[in-house]
Structures are given as C-alpha cells and as structure tokens.
Structure 1
Amino acid sequence: MNSFLPLCHAPTARRPSSRHARRPRRRDDDAMLALLGELLPTPNTPVEIVTAASWTNAAMTGAAYERSFHELGCPTARHLPVSEHQPADAPATLRRLAKAGLVFFSGGDQERLLQLLAGTEFARQLRQRFYDDETFIVAGTSAGAAGLPEQMIIDGYGWRSLRKGGIKTGPGLNLLPRLFIDQHFAERGRFGRLAHALLAHPACLGLGLAEETGIIIRGGRYATVFGDGVATVMDGREVHGTNVGRIGRGEPVSGQDLRLHLLVAGQQLDLISHEISNSA
C-alpha cells in the first residue's frame, strides 16, 4: 500500500475497529482492500468510500474502489460523495455514516480533505464511532490516511524541509492523538519533513510509511506493521537543544536525541508507551 496507513483502528477483541494506510493506485490496493474485507463483521457490512481528498475525478475514483471492493466480496461498498456541492453534513450523508461498518478515505490532497470535513458533524460522528464502536473501521490510503491523526504534514520538499518555514503542518481529523503520518515516505525522500515536524511538535510520534506498507491500529493503541516495506518511526519525546523556536525563516533546523526505529511486517508499536515488540 502506499505510504498511507490502512488505518485500521481495531479493538483488541473480536472483529476490531481498525485503521490502515496504503498506496493510491487501484491495482496496488487489492491486498489492503482484501485485508479490510476480512476485518468486516460480515460480507454485507456497509462500506462507504469517501473521495473528498480528490480535486478531480472523485466520482471515477469512487467507482473504481467500488468495483474493487465488489470483486473482493464486499457487495455493499458505495461511493459517498463529499464536496463543495455535496456537503458532509447533508442528512442523507450522515445517515449513511451512521450505518457504515467501514469508512474508507481515498488519496489526493489532505488539506482539501480537511477543508471539507473539519468542524463538521460528519467528523464529530466519525470520531465518536471510531472510539465507541468496537466493530467500526476507518481506513485511508495516502492523503486519506495522512489526514486522520491529530496532526498532518501538508507540504515540504527535499532539502528545504530542513529549514525554518520549509514545511507546513496543520490539524487533522484527530482520530489518533499526538501522531503524524507521512506517506510515500522512502520513495519521495520525506525523512527531512517528518523530522522537522517532530522537532516542532516533540510530544508527537511520527510514522513514515513506505509504499506497499501500512499499519493496523488496534484498540487505538497497538500499531502492527504489514506489507512489503518499512515503517519509519520517529519519537520526539527526548528531543532537546532544538533551535526551531529561535531561528529565522530559511535557516537550518537542529535538535538532539530524536529517536528513530525501522519496523517491518509483524512488528508492533505501542502508540502510548512507544515500546516496540517483535510479534503482534
């Protein structure tokens, strides 16, 4: 999957509420979508596909994901349009959210996703169900995953991301507190921007997901890696000596003791204690 986290928020018991991250191209998503199908309580559990992060071709993207879910044995998967002309708080949209067993966010632009969902009743009900309903699943790919935690990285490229003002961050949908998720992490050289984000927000964890790599989060706490690549974990809790607060725009950032972990399939990260184990 793309460095998006099939953000599967799954509780530790039974068919968990789960979240995932993964790759945006349809042909690369089948393994993740099949995993999501296995997490559903029944094959007929309603699946809602939200393409709000897409600036263009949102309907085509939704239709493509519908076909993929149907082919994988989830016949109730439907595109749930959310846009400037189809607001998230429309009564029919909220009724569908209330009945959904899985809400899947496709990729695109996480800033657009938040423009359409931030502060809405849709977002409030999504968070409430995520925490209160143990069978409810929220999943995202690429930007659809990056926008789900408390914080998100909106912009930042190459060497410039290690200079003051070289990244842009903002609030996400806050399904997971004190967390950044960055996608396409290894493939697009995004180490610098996630490191900068952690120097500026040292209380947070950072998860950088390579393509074809994701995590399942169970009980809102235990994140297990799956897929073929590496999940990079950055821990800012022990950071000290950072100059981010006192340098001028364009100057290089610095800090000490930013911890780094590289995790592969089967390894597990405790999002609260930050401890790592080698078995799920």
Structure 2
Amino acid sequence: MTTFEQAPKGILIAVGGNEDKGTFPRAKKQYHLNFFELGILKRIIDAMGGSQARIEVITSASMIPEELGALYLRAFEVLGCQQVRVMDIREEADALKPEYLQRLRAASGVMFTGGDQSRLFRIFSGTAFHQILLRRYYQEEGFVIAGTSAGAMAMSDIMITGGSSSRALLKGSVKLDRGLAFQENVIFDSHFVKRGRFGRLMEAVATHPFKIGIGLGEDTGVLISQGNFIETIGSNLVIVVDGHHIKHNNTSYAAPGTPLSIENFRVHVLALGNYYDIKERKFCVGNKQPAWEE
C-alpha cells in the first residue's frame, strides 16, 4: 500500500448510516433535519463542488446493490446533481476493469454505501483502484471520499468488523481487522447511538489506546479536512472516545470473555456545529473552523 508523508489535501466524510435520502416519512421528520436539502447528501454534493460534481456511488458492501444504487441515484437527482453513476463492483476483478479506473480518475468524489465493511477490504485493499483513491485523496484538493455505515467503518486502518453490543467490554467480544486506511489515527463505529455501541468502541480504543474512537449516530457524520479537523454534520450525535490518558487497562492480559477494567477514558459528545481537532484532541463549539481553545 502506498503511503504519503504529507497530510491529505482531500476531504473524508464518514456517516453513521440511515442518512436522509428524501424518503423519511413525515412523522419521523422531528428526528431529522427539517429540510432534506440541508442534510448530509447535500453537504456531500457541496464538498464535491456542487451540482456539476461527478459522483461515483460504490455499492460493493451491499447484498442489494441494484436497489441501493437506484436509491442514491434518485436522492442525488432530487438534489439537482445529474452526473451520478453507480459502480457495480462485486469482486476484486471488477475493481480492475479499465472503465472503472478511468471513471475513478475523472470523478469529483466517491460514495461508499452500507453493507459489510469486510467485503470492502476484501475487494479493494491493495488494488489499483485503492491506490488511485489514496493518491487522489492525499494529493488533490477537493477530492472527496464519502462513506456511510460500513462505507465509513472501512475508512480507518483498524476497522471494527463485528461484536455484540450486549457483550461489549468482555475481552474479545469486539472483532477488529485492517481497514482501507484513508484515516490512520481513528477507529469508526456506525449506527452508534441507536444500537448502543458505546461499549464496543471503548473496547476497540482500549485495545488501540492511541487511536481516537469516533461513534457516528444515524443521519450524522463527520467531515474531516487535512486528515485532522472534524466538523460534525447531520441531525444526531457524534461520540468521540479518547484513550490517550488511560491509566489502568487490563485489555492486554485479561482472559477471553472476562470483564475489562479501564481507567480514565475521555469522552466528548458533538452535535451539528461542533468541531474536534484529532491531533490536538480538542473540542470546540462554533459554526466556522475555530481558533482552537487552550
């Protein structure tokens, strides 16, 4: 895998899943932004350059790729973006097709849908497709890699692949593997608030205490610029788990299936308009990228 020494010039957008695609029933609108046009997909379009953006939707993680692809095509069309196509990549061989590599080189950005994050790693890791994504993300201003649910979880170099929320914080209940490494200093989890995944993200961070855990609520995400500055977008919450100050931590020697004990986690709760500096591990409130507080 190609590595880059400089901070990425592109933008990463990780979404917790179930983002408003213009299909939420009216009764549920109280839990989401008042207007679909102000939501996450619109923000993705804006980050990619507006209505003329060339967006490639990648449905590889899904077991229903045709249905999901059609849903995103309709949603982006409603938002005025016409140059949207779906890449029907189901196996590693598909990712090597010259047509898809050419389209990837011409795209303003890509959108990975939900499904199984392990499939994304199996299909793309180390391929020419993966290398083009990494190169464009690190070297091209304005290039966007977006992903929702599994598409977000696969973005980090250490990836949560499974684990029961009810058994979290019992040694070994959370399954971890390598991810696509667009973001190397965090671990993402999705559907975070609704599915009660706090414990499993804590275990993942306790296992890798120099990573920042980012729990993404549904219809909520983070926009990461320069590989470091997080802006919260969407209608729900983002939970940040920082393990840098952990003191006691029995994760390395506890027997499988036994309870973990961890001292001095730091947790931040971010909503729309909040920012977080990953490198400095600082939280800030504001509607613009702020001067970071001491």
Secondary structure class of the residue paired with 1:199: helix
Please give the alpha-carbon distance, in whole angstroms, between the structure 1 residues aligned to 2:58 and 2:222.
Answer: 20
1:223–1:10 CA distance, 2 compared to 1 (3 A)? farther
Who is 2:197 aligned against? Answer: 190
Who is 1:36 aligned against? Answer: 44
1:112–1:85 CA distance, 2 compared to 1 (3 A)? closer
Deviation at 1:157, TM superposition (A): 1.1
**Contact persistence 2:40–2:233 (CA under 8 A):** no
1:264–1:232 CA distance, 2 compared to 1 (3 A)? same
**Contact persistence 1:10–1:18 (CA under 8 A):** no
Are 1:163 and 2:157 counterparts? no
Unpaired runs of 5+ residues, structure 2, are 1-6, 25-31, 289-294
Residue in structure 1 matching 2:143, options 136, 148, 157 = 136
Q: Give the aligned residue type for 1:170.
A: D
Residue in structure 1 matching 2:114, options 84, 100, 107 = 107
More off after superposition, 73-82 vs 22-31? 22-31
1:72–1:161 CA distance, 2 compared to 1 (3 A)? same
Residue in structure 2 matching 1:250, options 241, 254, 257 = 257
Deviation at 1:20, TM superposition (A): 3.5
Are 1:175 and 2:169 counterparts? no
CA-atom RMSD, angstroms? 1.9
More off after superposition, 89-98 vs 197-206? 89-98
Deviation at 1:207, TM superposition (A): 0.6
TM-score normalised by length of structure 1: 0.90
Secondary structure class of the residue paired with 2:167: helix
Please give the alpha-carbon distance, in whole angstroms, between the structure 2 residues aligned to 1:184 and 1:63.
Answer: 22
More off after superposition, 174-183 vs 57-66? 57-66
Who is 1:94 aligned against? Answer: 101
Who is 1:273 aligned against? Answer: 280
Are 1:17 and 2:23 counterparts? no
More off after superposition, 58-67 vs 103-112? 58-67
Secondary structure class of the residue paired with 1:162: coil
Deviation at 1:159, TM superposition (A): 3.2
Please give the alpha-carbon distance, in whole angstroms, between the structure 2 residues aligned to 1:36 and 1:230.
Answer: 18
Q: Percent identity?
A: 33
Deviation at 1:109, TM superposition (A): 0.9
Unpaired runs of 5+ residues, structure 1, are 1-8
Please give the alpha-carbon distance, in whole angstroms, between the structure 2 residues aligned to 1:85 and 1:168.
Answer: 23
Who is 2:159 aligned against? Answer: 152
Cα deviations by residue, 1:220-247 (Å, 9 ceiling, x for unpaired): 2110112222111000111122111112
Please give the alpha-carbon distance, in whole angstroms, between the structure 2 residues aligned to 1:85 and 1:133.
Answer: 25
Q: Give the aligned residue type for 1:49.
A: V
Secondary structure class of the residue paired with 1:257: coil
Who is 1:75 aligned against? Answer: 82
TM-score normalised by length of structure 2: 0.86
1:10–1:44 CA distance, 2 compared to 1 (3 A)? farther
**Contact persistence 1:53–1:109 (CA under 8 A):** yes
Please give the alpha-carbon distance, in whole angstroms, between the structure 2 residues aligned to 1:226 and 1:85.
Answer: 32
Cα deviations by residue, 1:195-229 (Å, 9 ceiling, x for unpaired): 00011000100011111221111222110112222
